[in-house]
Amino acid sequence: MNASAHEWQDAEVVATAEVADRIRRITLRPSRPPQGRTVQPGEHLKVLVGIDGSEVKRSYSIVDAAPDGSDVSLTVFHTPNSRGGSAYMHSLQVGDTLRVTQPQQNFPLRIGAPRYVLVAGGIGITAIRGMASLLRRLGADYSIHYAARSPEAMAYREELIAEHGDRLTTYFDSESVFLDAHALISTMEAGAELYMCGPIRLMDAIRRAWRELELDPTNLRFETFGNSGWYEARRFRVNLPRLGVSTEIGANETILEALQKIGVAMMYDCRRGECGLCQVKVTDVDGRIDHRDVFFSDRQKNASEKLCACVSRVVPHDPISATSTAQLTIDVP
For the bound state, the minimum distance from the C-beta of residue 5 to ligand FES, rounded and expressed in Å, comes to 18
For the bound state, the minimum distance from the C-beta of residue 268 to ligand FES, rounded and expressed in Å, comes to 4
The per-residue DSSP string of 46-71 comes to EEEEEETTEEEEEEEEEEEE-TTSSS
Beta carbon nearer to ligand FES, 61 or 254 = 254
Classify residue 257 by its DSSP letter. H
DSSP collapsed to 3 states, the chain:
CCHHHHCCEEEEEEEEEEEECCEEEEEEEECCCCCCCCCCCCEEEEEEEEECCEEEEEEEEEEEECCCCCCEEEEEECCCCCCCHHHHHHHCCCCCEEEECCCEECCCCCCCCCCEEEEEEHHHHHHHHHHHHHHHHHCCCEEEEEEECCHHHCCCHHHHHHHHHHHEEEEEHHHCECCCHHHHHCCCCCCCEEEEECCHHHHHHHHHHHHHCCCCHHHEEEECCCCCCCCCCCCEEEEECCCCEEEEECCCCCHHHHHHHCCCCCCCCCCCCCCCCCEEEEEEEECEEECCCCCCCHHHHHHCCEEECCCCEEECCCCCCCCCCEEEEEECC
For the bound state, the minimum distance from the C-beta of residue 101 to ligand FES, rounded and expressed in Å, comes to 17
Beta carbon nearer to ligand FES, 154 or 307 = 307
For the bound state, the minimum distance from the C-beta of residue 74 to ligand FES, rounded and expressed in Å, comes to 21
- Phi, psi for residue 137 in degrees, rounded to 5: -65, -30
Beta carbon nearer to ligand FES, 22 or 271 = 271
Beta carbon nearer to ligand FES, 225 or 295 = 295
Beta carbon nearer to ligand FES, 155 or 289 = 289
Determine the Cα–Cα distance for residues 254 and 247; give it in Å rounded to an integer: 12
Beta carbon nearer to ligand FES, 160 or 308 = 308
Beta carbon nearer to ligand FES, 209 or 310 = 310
Beta carbon nearer to ligand FES, 258 or 277 = 277
Rg value, the chain, Cα: 20
For the bound state, the minimum distance from the C-beta of residue 309 to ligand FES, rounded and expressed in Å, comes to 6
In the complex, which residues of this chain contact ligand FES (CB under 6 A)? 268-271, 273-278, 293, 295, 308, 310
